Amino acid sequence: MTRRTRVVAEDKASFPPVRKLGLGGVGYQLDHQIGVGAFSKVYGGVDMWGNPIAMKLMSPDASRSLWEREGKALVRFRHPCVPHLYGAHEHEGRLYLVLERCGIAVSRMRPSAPLRPRACLVVARSLLQVLHTLHVMKHWHGDVSANNVLVRDPSPQSLGIVKLTDFALCQPVGQLSEGRHLVPPWQPLPERLEPGRPGNLGPATDVYLAAMVLLQVLTGETKHYTSEETMAGAPRERALATGTRLGEAIAAGLALDAAARPSAAALWSMLAMLVNPRLRELPAGAAQPVRAP
């Protein structure tokens, strides 16, 4: 009897404060929690037409600027590998974002060893493509992690559709001084641990964080490196220790010197040429995306 009571209490805690609500003239039915971050919780649900959605509810103590920044970023950086924003609403003093439901986090996937190299390339293609688009538009994400890379409709034959989410920390390159950048403090970064290193926090930081995600997919390991291990280059050494060319390419993105890391596009070129040598014939950076007016 005691055990049953505890389970019921946990189930109730996993649901939002309000299960049914109307926002912007649309009715929503919310289900259990599917994600949690430092500033918000995310709940699965459906809208009144039956479409699956992810409802992001900002924490009461979260800065309003984070909600505004993420909403604006999702509208500005529309991309096939970025979740669609259906709406941003304030209701009874709480802030909501209604998002496309994008599946499960890469951190929860456990591909078998033979499938990991292919899974790594599939994740890299979508993730680095989004980051390249951001960087060309003079912005950077700042919170790339295996928890923020989502996969929809995975199967034994296909990894599915990969999308980068959580743009609450997305910001213009160089707008803030290094000390005020909002990169999560729990993520050790060489350029933050030793500010005197060449290269400030920015696009190169995204590349480092993306390489960490790819290392996790390639090795199947979930390891949290300490500050000491990070400054000793342990993530890069682990990538090289895989003894694969994929690992060598990932290691380039894990260089301690931010200025020595390849761009997102260059890192993808290094990875893609391993499976399609004909890409060697393409000039690097021959064409740049054109920003819409």
Q: Name residue 58's beta-bridge partners.
A: 40
Q: Would you tell me how many other CB atoms lie within 10 Å of the CB of residue 252?
A: 18
Closest CA to 148 of 131, 173, 165: 165
Determine the angle formed by the axes of helices 116-136 and 245-253, rounding to 10 degrees: 30
Radius of gyration of the chain from its Cα atoms, rounded to whole angstroms: 20
Q: What is the pLDDT along the chain (293 residues), one digit of tens a residue?
A: 333 333 333 355 688 888 888 898 899 999 999 888 888 999 999 999 999 999 999 999 888 989 999 999 999 998 999 999 999 999 999 999 999 998 889 988 888 888 899 899 999 999 999 999 999 999 999 999 999 999 876 555 556 689 999 998 898 998 754 444 455 666 788 888 876 655 578 999 999 999 999 999 999 998 889 999 999 999 999 999 999 999 999 999 999 999 999 999 999 999 988 876 665 555 544 333 333 32
Model pTM above 0.75 = yes
List the beta strands (DSSP E) in the chain.
20-23, 26-36, 40-47, 52-58, 85-91, 94-100, 104-105, 139-140, 149-152, 161-164, 171-172
Residue 14: both structure tokens together: 């996993």
Evaluate the CA torsion angle 196, 202, 206, 207 in order and state its sign.
Answer: negative
How buried is 1 (Cβ within 10 angstroms: 0-12 exposed, 13-18 middle, 19+ buried)?
exposed
**Side chain identity at 22, as an amino acid letter?**
G
Question: Residue 48 to residues 21, 23, 51, 195: CA-CA distances in angstroms?
Answer: 10, 11, 7, 50
